[in-house]
Structure 1
């Protein structure tokens, strides 16, 4: 699993502030179709950007609650604008009573969870009958990342998958949702695309150090090779290319 000290938290916040991820949050909010006074749960609230934005949509008569397993993420979320109810908790153990929420959202979380059916059962428990959920996760086989050394890139990405419980979760989520007592709609794909290296404004540029530090820490790929991988990507200039698909699943609780 990824661990978030002050430096890694800073890098994550930088990634969340890139136009790519800002646009992703805007798409998620559009797909949620939140209404004033609704009660919303954000499972894996992270630094709190989406939760704060949702709080603005449900207004003072609504509620946005956020849970996270990381105390450092909760600390960051507490600094956001908006009245948020923030608690320590996990996807498999949500610290709220049954039928507490009209809506639940989980972005980039379930791919980290070993027991997805248990997590979906918890979502079903805390969402009222007829309530709705939105889950966004990545299929890491969808990644296209140009490199000057394809073998090294493959080794880095293979090691990077070690931070996830299931790097290909979207492929089975429709069936898991049906089995858990939800009626899913048609999935939506949200691609991330960076053409030309932009060290400040692109998600993938922010991702380089996050990936590199995790991979180097595992010790499977030598640290010198990881450093060479980073330098190679940053040297590509206008020839830089990155694409990754994230998949959104919306469902109604039966």
Structure 2
């Protein structure tokens, strides 16, 4: 579904929060390590968003291209990081020739795809033999939040998962890569823990969307959001987000 500019800008604001937290920075660095790219190697960042990862990889000496289907995202990325090549393209139809790339990275992307297997096949096509693929994502059923209303919290987490095309695709990622003929498949989990106010906007957004979807009442949701905001201000919030990193090598 095509986003409005306002929806894209709101998503960029959330991505900026995630990019700026220490856990986000560490996870990006780990994904670059797993790509194992030599200087000058060509790599694509699929679903590049506002462009930070492609810019960081370029700064490491590789030839990075960021692609995203959202024209507004690509425009923002190009404005922020003008020295990097950003293009409008989808994960299913990448603007590269066969075996052109040494690295493929997709961060928080596969859960929005209609056909992740097709995207993996396209990754295999553009990767050279022994090229590396790294997929980063979360399992939307495993957002862990402490609250005084655990029943509502379960409802909010479930409502968030129900809005996602592939909320549990990270559970399939290893098999998707194996089915496509990739080798050396590994899976890591990195859990982000938040106790302050940083992620309160994300929690408020999840709760508001659950309310809009009539999963809960306005008054109960506002109480839940206020509780999370107060916890964050007192450094008493507890939010755990397990992030899964699946990496593999294209068969020679």
TM-score by length of structure 1 reads 0.88
Question: C-alpha distance in 2, partners of 1:2/1:224?
Answer: 31
Q: Deviations over 1:194-232 (max 9, x none)?
A: 2x3x22xx3x33422332343344343334433322112
5 Å-filtered alignment, 1:55-134, equals: 55-58=58-61, 62-81=62-81, 83-134=83-134
Structure 2 partner of 1:240: 237
Structure 2 partner of 1:137: 137
Q: Contact between 2:51 and 2:81, CA under 8 Å: does it hold in 1?
A: no
Question: C-alpha distance in 2, partners of 1:48/1:213?
Answer: 27
Asked whether 1:210 is paired with 2:213, we answer: no
Structure 1 unaligned regions, length at least 5: none
CA RMSD of aligned residues (A): 2.1
Task: State the shift of 1:82 in Å.
Answer: 6.1
Alignment counterpart, residue 42 of structure 1, candidates 34, 40, 45 = 45
Question: C-alpha distance in 2, partners of 1:2/1:186?
Answer: 33
3-state secondary structure, aligned to 2:141: helix
Task: State the shift of 1:118 in Å.
Answer: 0.6
Decide whether aligned partners of structure 1 residues 68 and 224 sit closer, same or farther in structure 2, where only a CA change above 3 A counts.
farther
Structure 2 unaligned regions, length at least 5: none
TM-score by length of structure 2 reads 0.88
Decide whether aligned partners of structure 1 residues 95 and 50 sit closer, same or farther in structure 2, where only a CA change above 3 A counts.
same
Task: State the shift of 1:125 in Å.
Answer: 0.8
Task: State the shift of 1:170 in Å.
Answer: 2.0
Q: Contact between 2:12 and 2:49, CA under 8 Å: does it hold in 1?
A: no
